[in-house]
Every structure is written in C-alpha cells, then in structure tokens.
Amino acid sequence: MNFLRRLPSFSGWAPWLLAAACLFPGAVQAERLKDLASIQGVRGNQLIGYGLVVGLDGSGDQVRQTPFTQQSLTNMLSQLGITVPQGSNMQLRNVAAVMVTATLPAFARPGQTVDVVVSSMGNAKSLRGGTLLMTPLKGADGQVYAIAQGNLLVGGAGAEAGGSSVQVNTLNGGRISNGAIIERAVPTTYAHDGIIHLEMNDNDFGTAQNVANALNGKFGPGTAVALDARVVQVRGPLDPAQQPAFISQIENMQVARAPAAAKVIINARTGSVVMNRTVMIEEAAVSHGNLSVIINRQNDVVQPDTPFAGGQTVVVPNTQIELRQEGGGLQRVQTSANLADVVRALNALGATPQDLLTILQAMKSAGALRADLEII
C-alpha cells in the first residue's frame, strides 16, 4: 500500500516497522459472526496411516538402513499371494515407506474424497513420480475412516537465487488431491435440545457480550447468554430441520469486535515491530547511548471560534515527543499519545533495531508504555 512507502526506513535493510493499525484510528468495524466464532461440535478429525510408495526412479529407501520398508513390502506381497523366501535380502530402490495424513471434515459422508499428505519416514531421496498403494487411514479410536491411494504431486527442485542455492520445497513429501475415499462417517452433533454453543476464536469478554447482545436484539431477549470469555450459549429452534437455517442467519450477523488489549510484538532477530491502535504512552524520559527521548503530556483547551456560537469548550490531550541525538539534530512531534510516533521518530534519527528494543523495554519497566510487550 502507498502509506507503507511513506514510512521512513533504514538504508541497507528492509523497513522494520509495521504499525498499520495505529495509522487508522476510528470506530470499530463490525464483522460477520462466522469470522469471530465457530459452532461447538462442528470440527474436523485427524486421520493417519502407514503405507508404501512405489514407482520411484531409484530414489527410494535403502533397505539395509530401513528394515521396516522391506518388512512392509514382504507383508504386502504375502497378502497378494506372493511368498518371499525367508532371509531374502531385497535391494529395491524404487520403494519408500511413508506416513499418510488427512483431515476428515465435519459432515463428511462415505464416498466423498479428501486430500492427503504423504511424507517419507525413511531415507528416500525423493518421492517424485511415485504412487501410493492402498493405505487405510485410521482415527484416534483405531477405526478405519478412509482409504488413500494415487499418484503423488511433488514440488520442484531447488533454485539459484542471489548466487546461492535456495531450496524452495522438499522432495520427500507430497500431496494427492482427492486421494482418499471416505468409508465411514463421523456423527456431528452441534445442538442439544435446541441449545447451540458458539466458541469465540479469541478469549474476550467484550466480544462475547457483544455477540450475545446482537443475538438478543435480533431474535428476542433470552436467546443468547455469554457463559464466559469463550462460549456464548444460544437457544435455537427445537426442530432439527430448522436449525441449519437458524445457524445460517446468526453466522451472517454483523457484530462489533471489542477493542483488543494493547500489545506490542517485537521480533528480536529482524527488528520488526507490530502494534495495535490501543497502544498508548505516558510521560517519560529515556536516555540510551547518544539518543534521548523525552515525552511530555499536557492538555490543550479548545474553545469555539466565536462567542455564543453554541459550541463547547473541550480539553484535548496533547503529547510532545522530543528526541535528541548527540552531535545530531532535534526532532519534536506534537500528536496524540501513541507509540507509532515515537518509533517513527526514532527511525528517522537512524536508531538501530537493538536501540529500539532497549528503549521500549525501558519504557515498559518505567510504566510509561501502556501495553504488553512481547518479544519473539
């Protein structure tokens, strides 16, 4: 976006400040309920299986180092009526033992297909060109829910970039689109006696209460109640045939998300800084090396332009941010009290990422930074 291009940045490395949320103050926008919460009970189930990939061009497992590959191949051949003499040492380089994983979606029915991920578990160099043999996929209860089989799609090799080899993907794993056929359905229960539970994506009492208020305003008092910061209980129709239409209505309702907790996230390795619009600062004075940061907060009185104009006299908070650099210039910013102005001014003075980390930590310790500081 254009506003990111106007942010000052250090020469020689990429811009490290991302504070887009601070640049757009204003009212909280409403979001669809389906983007804020999910229906309790509507979830996927993980499936896993062990199988063999054949048809490799000499890039399969080395049987001596992966004896389980030879054992699996012997067992498979015996099921097909082929007896391998005891003690035979098969040196096959076009077979690889793999783990197959998939997710069984909610409301899936027998006969439908799902994608599968195939990953080598031996020392195969590449699975490109291989074919996965029939592999049962089991759930946590040990029951078979799907059968996988098909040709693998594996990415390309490494690419040369900037004089060095960059591996853009790996060759010991691949995918099979629609590679598994569902054999058993998992019952999905999302309503008990007409009671539906909505689970918020993020723990927030304010958002949960906003959801309950919106549902009560649309369907009547007593329809919804916030049980805690995560779950909202909704009283829906008792008739199961009417419940899907009811859920469709509540999923498309517009609900205002509560303001998020003030937080500043810093990547200590790259120097990236991400903050939300609720981050505020108080009066502080920080000295770090040849940099000095002085933050003075005062109230400005704003009066109507003309007497008896019907306006009101209001008090507007104003913050003066003064930055000094030894042997350098002086920069003063008058704006609202938010951290984005401090970081932008430090960036303009040429502060390093480590300088910024130290200054923010000092401000947090002094109580001047009104936000949670998280370093990753």
- pLDDT tens figures, 253-289: 999 998 888 888 888 777 777 888 777 777 766 666 6
- What's the rounded Cα separation, in Å, for the pair 162 and 58? 31
pLDDT at 13 over 70: no
Q: Residue 374 forms beta bridges with which residues?
A: 265
Length of the chain: 376
- pLDDT tens figures, 148-186: 999 999 875 544 444 445 555 578 899 999 999 999 999
Please list, in sequence order, all residues whose beta carbon lies within 8 angstroms of the beta carbon of residue 300, skipping any fewer than 6 positions away: 315, 316, 317, 318
Q: Which of 23-37, 178-192, 205-219, 220-234 has the lowest mean pLDDT?
A: 23-37
Tally: H helices and E strands in the chain: 7, 24
CATH 3.30.1360 boundaries in the chain: 191-256
φ/ψ bin of 289: left (φ > 0), alpha (ψ from -120 to 50), beta (otherwise) = left
| Percent of the chain residues topping a pLDDT of 70 | 71
pLDDT at 135 over 70: yes
pLDDT tier for residue 36 given thresholds of 50, 70 and 90: very high
Radius of gyration of the chain (CA): 30
Pick the CATH number of 191-256 from 1.10.10, 3.30.1360, 3.30.70, 3.90.550: 3.30.1360
Please list, in sequence order, all residues whose beta carbon lies within 8 angstroms of the beta carbon of residue 204, skipping any fewer than 6 positions away: 229, 257, 258, 260
Where would I find the H helices in 150-239?
205-219
Look-up of token digits 């197959």: 100
Q: Kindly state the DSSP code that residue 26 receives in the 8-state scheme.
A: S
For the chain, the distance separating the N- and C-terminal CA atoms, rounded to the nearest angstrom, is: 26
What average pLDDT score do residues 317-324 get? Answer: 55
Which among 300, 299, 351 is positioned nearest to 323, based on CA atoms? 351
